[in-house]
Each structure stands twice: as C-alpha cells, then as structure tokens.
Amino acid sequence: MEEEIRAHVFFSGIVQGVFFRAHTAEKASGLGLRGWVRNLSDGRVEAVFEGPRKDVEAAIAYCVGGQPHARVDDMKVEWEEPTGEGSFRRR
C-alpha cells in the first residue's frame, strides 16, 4: 500500500467565481482523495488533500494547469502529517 500524505495548499490568481472549488472537489473525489476546499476572504482558495502521493500530486497539478476557467498565478504547499480527513468536500 502506498504511503498516505497530506498537502495543505493555497492557490492565488483567478480562482474564485470560476467553479474552482467545484472542479477541485470533483477531481479529488474521482481520485479517491479525502479533504476539503474553500474560498478565503483575501481571494485565494485553500485546499487539503489526503491520500496516496501520486493522487495528491495529480490533484494539485490539475488545480494548477487543468482547470477550465481558472488561472493559478501562485501556489504554496505545506506538507503535513495526514490527520484522517473524511470524504472530500467543499466548505
């Protein structure tokens, strides 16, 4: 079984009002990841992804380059110990 990881990610750019959270949740759920995604009052989007490294990295790559209407100008990732998040959800 592959090692589980947790990525706490902050995305900035054109990430609010373009279905970024919905697309992120759909992709993460499709990959079987756990965690959440939410808008921040400063215009960024914050997300937590937990699961196998290859799937977490695929979700992050999708957020940066695969979202149909969003544009990510900057991203900050904090690698943390998994905490046992439930199914992936939008907050």
Query: CA 22 to CA 20: how far, in whole Å?
Result: 6
Is the predicted pLDDT of residue 63 greater than 80, yes or no? yes
Per-chain mean pLDDT for the chain: 96
Inter-residue contact 55 to 33 (CB < 8 Å): yes
pLDDT value at residue 1: 67
pLDDT on residue 80: 96
Question: Annotated catalytic, 44?
Answer: no
pLDDT band at residue 53 using 50, 70 and 90 as cut-offs: very high
Coil, strand or helix: which one is 26? Answer: helix
3-state secondary structure at position 27: helix
To the query of whether residue 89 is one of the catalytic residues in this protein, the response is no
| Catalytically annotated residue among 34, 38, 39, 89 | 39
Domain count of the fold of the chain = 1
Q: How far is CA 6 from the centre of its chain?
A: 10
H or E segment and range at residue 55? helix 53-65
Where residue 42 sits, what CATH number does that domain have?
3.30.70.100
Structure confidence at residue 85 as a pLDDT band (50, 70, 90): very high
Q: What range defines the domain where residue 64 resides?
A: 4-90
